Amino acid sequence: MGPHDCSRCAGCPVHPLAQEADAGVNRDNVDFVVALAGNPNTGKSTVFNALTGLRQHTGNWPGKTVTRAEGSYEYEGSRYKLVDLPGTYSLMAATTDEEVARNFILFGRPDVTLIVVDASRLERNLNLVLQVLGITDRAVLCLNLIDEARRHGLEIDVARLAEELGIPVVATSARFGRGIDELVRVVHEVATGRVVCRPRQIETRSPVLAGALGKLQPRLEAAFPALPNARWVALRLLDGDRRVSDAIGSGELENLYQEGQADTAERPPDGDGKPTTPGREVVELASALRWDVGPNFHQSVVEAIYTEAVRIADPCVRRTGVRRRFDWDRALDWLFTSRWTGVPIMILMLAVVLWITVAGANYPSQALSDLLVKTIHPELKQGAAAIGLPWWLRGVLVDGMYLATAWVVAVMLPPMAIFFPLFTLLEDFGYLPRVAFNLDSTFRRAGAHGKQALTMCMGFGCNAAGVVATRVIDSPRERLIAILTNNFSLCNGRWPTQILIATIFIGALVPPYLAGLVSVMAVVGVALLGVMFAFVVSWALSRTLLRGEASTFSLELPPYRPPRILQTLYTSLVDRTIFVLWRAVLFALPAGAAIWLVANVQVGGESLAAHFVRLTDPAAVFIGLNGVILLAYVVAIPANEIVIPTVLMLTIATAGTVAGGAGTGVMFETTESSTAAILQAGGWTLLTGVNLMLFSLLHNPCSTTIYTIYKETGSTRWAAVATLLPLGIGVVVCLAVAQIWYLFV
């Protein structure tokens, strides 16, 4: 075999560059890549923001539904790319998060791994630190939340800790920006090689571990001298880690560390992934040794890690005995979780958030709709006519696509822009885990997880965001249940419909001075009905479709921390609001076109809409609705917001009256009283109103949500269930209500 031919490297699957690309690293225009690892709740994202400012963007890891944030900064002329790994407790690849993090550090080979640690919980955090140090020897420890530690009377000997661990340690308080400069400097020193780390390796006292390692590690080191992390690799092989085992057998892992070595005479130049002999021997030895280590090997490893963690942390952490006289954490915990105050505060908190959202969104929504619909829309129409577009093209583009999108934006954007930040503030503060803690016993009886309370609350803002929020639920079964029932949370887009119909039909039943109160209570009643359905359906799903699937539970209650307001505003606006809005607009455009076409394309003298309404009216009335509502729901599948404008438009188009001053076949909204008049002229009764409220609660999710469910579950089957289940329930409930109504009224 001849000398290594560099020109063939790029296409080779086991070349480090290709592996890095697989692990999601792009080194273009970048000098150094830094990975950011750490336990959850250590302030890792604060560190991330402190280093990158606003130069960051979020996405997903390739092929996985795990969030990935990337940012960049410059230091002394070098360009740094910072990759935020998911917060994990360990790297033994038991969950997707851990797998992603481990693969990035091992195969992506960042220049520096920056581990963020909570100074008050050093022992527990050292579990992850020691595992990282097993994989890479270029790491820096960021001892964050040092101010909190001091407040609790803990004094950390930073120098001693650095000595024990063998890597640099920087104490920071990222929230206040303290220590960040030094952190950046130290990272630079490690990245450029000015500082060399000699990380501490886990000692193994257990005879079982020591025996097996004693046989495997030397063989590994002899076969692959370039491997810097032989001990860790040996432990992974003995634990049955398939990814690592494949990487050893095929030579992939070894190739990662062979860069720069000119002589590759023993390796095949193509490295096409087939097992090489020394690798296979090592894997076979590990396989034989696995019988000796027994079924509790994994536990022995974790015990060894924690023994080491205690040995390192004990001499470095000192309790000074200086504590604040008033323990905020204890007091707040008592307040939020005690039997008498816990639940009322929860209800109050949710009510306040919802009220602020509804009240606060009113004016911006009105202003936006005035702007987009009342002002720009006619301008666009004139403009389109002026440049000579044919009437039908004008209709589809301006009256259909633009108008639908404008409605969606005007109605969707303001509430989300208020609700998401409020919710994220509560999350940051640390209150939300307490909600899950309080409600878990109720959810457990329904076969679900306490954190579903949080995703349901999120669903009150937007169901698509609620579905994405279910990522916090680790357990697969509980997560699926939360996803499938999220639609029963009455999302922002449906409130206008509910409020309007309640005011027109239910408020009209009582004297005017009570009308407002009764309408609100009706809407609240519908929302609570939705919550009840969520519980019942969760329970049913856990007994039937999802019976026998895995179920795990764990919930960490982090300390209370003042929320970072600006950072929250930014992340909730960009990550949640814009993301959902973008998807919604994407679906609204074709829907708008469909709506206009359906109302304006004439076949045999009647518009398509009129045909549809005529054909489906009998069946629709049978379940207490009417053909117009059915058609409106079919075309409004992209967004619940456009149901009412579409209903009004269709009612007029098919009933033949012209009121409200709108053009033919164009969605619109008017005052409450004209709306009432139009609907009454269209034959709506109290039953229609009530059933519309019920159907609006119980029908299939909007297309944005369906698409999000498809992406999150990766399965068309579950997306279909999520669509058809609520729809089926909605039809059955409306049918029952209608038939009982017809019996008695």
- List residues near other proteins by CB under 8 A: 89-90, 92, 94-95, 120-124, 127, 239-243, 245, 287-288, 290-291, 294-296, 298-299, 302-303, 306, 333, 337-339, 342-343, 433, 437-438, 440-442, 444, 450, 474, 477, 547-558, 621-622, 738-739, 741-743
- Contact call for residues 268 and 4 (beta carbons, < 8 A): no
In the complex with other proteins, the residue whose CB is nearer, 119 or 593, is 119
d(Cα 189, Cα 162) in Å, to the nearest integer?
Answer: 15
Check if the beta carbon of residue 376 is closer than 8 Å to that of residue 425.
no
- Return the amino acid letter for 663: G
Nearest-approach distance from CB 543 to other proteins, in angstroms: 11
Give the shortest CB-252-to-other proteins separation in angstroms: 16
DSSP β-bridge partners for residue 318: 155
Residue 155 CB, shortest distance to other proteins, in Å, is 15
Nearer to other proteins, 668 or 695 (CB): 695
> Minimal distance in Å, beta carbon 61 to other proteins?
18
Nearer CB in complex with other proteins: 41/217: 41
Choice between 328 and 355, CB closer to other proteins? 328
Q: What one-character-per-residue DSSP string does 78-144 give?
A: EEEEEEEPPP-S--S--SHHHHHHHHHHHHS--SEEEEEEEGGGHHHHHHHHHHHHHH-S-EEEEEE
Cβ–Cβ < 8 Å for 285, 226: no
Yes or no: say if 88 and 114 are a contact pair by the CB < 8 Å rule: no
What DSSP character marks residue 274? P
> Which amino acid, residue 632?
A
DSSP SS3 for 379: helix
Beta-carbon contacts of 386 under 8 Å, excluding residues fewer than 6 positions away, are none
Q: Is 7 exposed, middle or buried (0-12, 13-18, 19+ CB in 10 A)?
A: exposed
Structure tokens at 113: 């791994």
Report the nearest approach of other proteins to the CB of residue 657 (Å): 21
Angle (nearest 5°) at CA 616 between 612 and 622: 160
Closer residue to other proteins (CB): 75 or 741: 741
Angstrom distance (rounded) from CA 275 to CA 363: 66
Cβ-proximal residues to 97 (8 Å cutoff; 6+ apart), any chain: 66, 86, 87, 88
Structure token pair of residue 110: 């960042």
Q: How far is the CB of 5 from other proteins (least distance, A)?
A: 33
Nearer to other proteins, 75 or 306 (CB): 306
Task: Count the Cβ atoms, other than its own, within 10 Å of residue 507.
Answer: 21
Of the two residues 175 and 449, which places its CB atom closer to other proteins in the complex? 449
Closest contact distance (angstroms) between CB of 302 and other proteins is: 4
Note whether 110 and 34 are within 8 A (CB): yes
Return the bridge partners of 626, or none.
none
Alpha-carbon gap, residue 418 to 102, rounded angstroms:
37
Comparing CB distances to other proteins, the nearer of 91 and 652 is: 91
Nearer to other proteins, 52 or 452 (CB): 452
Closer by beta carbon to other proteins, 173 or else 245: 245
Write down the least CB distance from residue 225 to other proteins, Å: 27
Q: Smallest distance, Å, CB 308 to other proteins?
A: 12
CB of 431 to other proteins, least distance (A): 14
φ, ψ at 170 (rounded to 5°):
-125, 125
Compute the least distance from the CB of residue 555 to other proteins, in Å: 4
Nearer to other proteins, 58 or 127 (CB): 127
Of the two residues 98 and 111, which places its CB atom closer to other proteins in the complex?
98
32 beta partners: 80
Strands 139-144 and 112-118, bridge-based pairing:
parallel
What's the min distance (Å) between Cβ of 587 and other proteins? 33
| CB distance 155 to 318 below 8 Å | yes
- Dmax of the chain from CA atoms? 95
